[in-house]
Amino acid sequence: MPSSKELADYIYTPSNMERINSDLTRYEIYNGKLRGSIEKAIRNEFILQDTVKELINRVIPINITQKIINKLGAVYLSQPLREPANLDEIDQQSINTLEQTMELNTRMKFLNRMFKLAKMAAVEPYLNDKGIPSLRVLPSHTFTPFSDSEIEPETPTHMIKHILFTGDKTKDRHIVWSATEHYTMNGEGIIVSNSDNPDNVNPYGAIPIVYIKDGFDKLIPLQDDDLISMQIAICLLLTDLAFATKYQAWSLIYLIGAKSEKLSFNPNSVISLDFLPDGSEPKIGSIKPTVDIDAMLREVEALVGLLLSTKNLSVGSVSLKLDGTSAASGVSKILDQAESTEDKQDQLQYFGDFEKQLFEVLAKNVIPYWESQNLINPKVRLEFSPDFELSISFPDQKPAISEKEIVEIEKAKVEASFTSQRAAIQAVNPELDSDQIDALIEEIAQDKIREMEVMASLPSSFNQQTQELRFTPNLNA
| DSSP H or E stretch at residue 441 | helix 434-457
The residue type of 235 is C
pLDDT at residue 328, rounded to an integer:
45
Question: Where is pLDDT greater, at 37 or 138?
Answer: 138
Q: Among 234-248, 299-313, 442-456, name the one with the lowest average pLDDT.
A: 299-313
Cα–Cα distance for residue pair 451/464, rounded to 1 Å:
15
Tell me: pLDDT of 299 over 90: no
pLDDT in tens, 16-31: 999 999 999 999 999 9
Rama region for 132: left / alpha / beta (φ>0; ψ in -120 to 50; rest)? beta
- pTM for the model stands at 0.73
3-state secondary structure of 22: helix
3-state secondary structure of 54: helix
Locate all alpha helices (DSSP H) within 250-320, ordered by sequence: 293-310
The conformation of residue 159, written as its DSSP 8-state character, comes to E
SS (H, E, C) 162-225: EEECCCCCCCCEEEEEECCEEEEECCCCCECCCCCCCCCECCCCCCCCEEEECCCCCCCCCCCC
pLDDT at residue 325, rounded to an integer:
47
**Domain chopping of the chain, boundaries:** 4-223+342-393, 252-287, 410-471
pLDDT at residue 410, rounded to an integer:
87
Q: What are phi and psi of 283, to 5 degrees?
A: -130, 145
Cα–Cα distance for residue pair 403/429, rounded to 1 Å:
9
Question: Where is pLDDT greater, at 178 or 339?
Answer: 178
Cα–Cα distance for residue pair 294/325, rounded to 1 Å:
9
Question: Where is pLDDT greater, at 299 or 177?
Answer: 177
3-state secondary structure of 134: strand
Cβ within 8 Å of residue 100, ≥6 positions away: none
| DSSP H or E stretch at residue 125 | strand 120-127
Cα–Cα distance for residue pair 275/329, rounded to 1 Å:
54
The band of 285, judged by pLDDT with boundaries at 50, 70 and 90, is: confident
pLDDT at residue 322, rounded to an integer:
46
pLDDT at residue 46, rounded to an integer:
82
pLDDT at residue 21, rounded to an integer:
96
Tell me: pLDDT of 180 over 80: yes
The residue type of 129 is D
pLDDT at residue 336, rounded to an integer:
52
3-state secondary structure of 141: helix
Cα distances (angstroms) measured from residue 115 to each of 69, 99, 137: 9, 20, 10
Tell me: pLDDT of 414 over 90: no
Tell me: pLDDT of 473 over 60: no
The band of 396, judged by pLDDT with boundaries at 50, 70 and 90, is: confident
The residue type of 424 is A
pLDDT in tens, 355-390: 999 999 999 999 999 999 999 999 999 999 999 999
The band of 461, judged by pLDDT with boundaries at 50, 70 and 90, is: low
Q: What are phi and psi of 35, to 5 degrees?
A: -60, -40
3-state secondary structure of 158: strand
Q: Which of 42-46, 69-73, 165-169 has the highest mean pLDDT?
A: 165-169
**Mean pLDDT in residue range 90-112:** 97
